[in-house]
Amino acid sequence: MESYFSLAEQYSTQSEPAFCGLGTLCMILNSINMDPSKTWKGPWRWYSEEMLGCCTSLETIKEKGITLEQFWCMAKCNGANISLYRYEDSTIQQFREHVMNASKYADQYLVSSFSRKFLGQTGDGHYSPIGGYNKKHDSVLLMDVARFKYPSYWVPVETLYDAMSGIDVDTGRSRGYFTITSNSSQEGSRLYKLFSSNKVGWRQLTLMMLAQVLPNLHNLDSLNSLVYSLFEDTPHDIQDVLISYCDTLHSELLHCQDHKEEVLATLTNLRALELHSIVSTQFNKQFSALSKKHHACDLATLLLLTLPLRNFPVTPSVQKQIDQYRSLEGSSPSLKQELLRMRSHLATLCSSCGQMQNEFCCAQATSCNSNHGTSSIVLPHASHNHLKEPKCDTSRCGCVDKKSIKNLM
């Protein structure tokens, strides 16, 4: 019952009928003291459901709920260490062992996605944290976030495991469970999480660039041309997204306390880069209205440095120049750590979308296959009994068109 006590402190009720996944994830993130890196409700920082729109819109979640892949993505977006085990890829003994481990250690958590029908309850798909294990009765305590409907209750392990075999009609696949722990040593980029609750989060902006903007560009012969082509006033409203980010960053710097100096130091170091100077010159020349928006050039530079892309649609000489800037040689250690962390984070998250992993590179992955210090994301082999980095259902999240991604290179 070790994890029960921290979960009980954060026990909350889902605010919408389809928010069981969000309500459950909020309980977990708050239980492991994950910092959302964004000031909310005055000086206080904790997770609430409306902050978890990084992988799909809250409007869509209200209507359809979330898939297992989207739950995984949201947890990963916010720095948690999470693994997904689908019913068909696991065994009841494996599930029982995870339950027992979560009940022994205060820093390990388990979330089950199951069909209520198997428990004789009304409704169907549901997410719930597992708060404890009774070895004598081989039962788990489900801390149901639909507290207006059901209180916490005990369920035999075998019954809950069977309930995870229920098919999600939206994906055509079984349900399953997650193991979640804190990942404080690699909590993720502070700047990335800062924009995760914007209407268009940094992940969505990255996917928009990769799937809808970059495929239409070819053999650009200068960095100036690349900057102009990426940020011109296109139908994708990239400039509007940047403006919304500027407003978010400005507001955060006005109100945050704990990490204000850290963010300001990152921005100062970013502005010292030669690439930032190139972006600023081009913005002043081509996007005068946008350049007047404080932080617009900072964010555009940040995007160029963190796009998890091996090659840009430019000539070889320009690509060589980009590689030089993206190597981050000469940048401050703190800025380099933040940018590499953000790039790695985006590569992992984007590679879970469609069949995109072969199109991305990650400066912190282990299997290097490039001359520029970058490497391909290596996803678990199909024979593995669990899936740490799942593929999302693009029809649900609306992230990308697989064909357009394949044409990127």
Residues noted as catalytic: 20, 126, 144
Q: b or e along 106-127 (b: 16 or more beta carbons within 10 Å of the residue's beta carbon)?
A: bebbbbbbbbbebbebeebbbb
Torsion angle of alpha carbons 272, 274, 276, 278, nearest 10°? 150
Cα 263 to Cα 21, 90, 252, 268, 354: the distances in Å are 31, 42, 10, 9, 33
Pick from 338, 257, 191: nearest CA to 45? 257
Distance CA 369, CA 399 (A): 27
Q: b or e along 223-246 (b: 16 or more beta carbons within 10 Å of the residue's beta carbon)?
A: bbbbbbbbbeeeebebbebbbbbb
The residues that bridge with 108 in the sheet, in sequence order, are: 181
Helix count (H) and strand count (E) of the chain?
Answer: 18, 10
Pull the structure tokens for residue 350: 């984007």
**Stretch (H or E) spanning 362:** strand 361-362
Burial class (CB in 10 A: 0-12, 13-18, 19+), 221: exposed
Residue written as token pair 């403006």: 243
Burial class (CB in 10 A: 0-12, 13-18, 19+), 16: middle
Distance CA 381, CA 351 (A): 14
Starting from the edge strand earliest in sequence, which strands make up the sheet with 81-86, in order? 81-86, 176-181, 108-115, 125-134, 139-142, 153-156
**Stretch (H or E) spanning 376:** strand 375-376
Distance CA 290, CA 297 (A): 9
What stretches of 74-217 adopt beta strand conformation (E)?
81-86, 108-115, 125-134, 139-142, 153-156, 167-168, 173-174, 176-181
Cα 177 to Cα 93, 225, 281, 342, 391: the distances in Å are 13, 47, 50, 27, 16
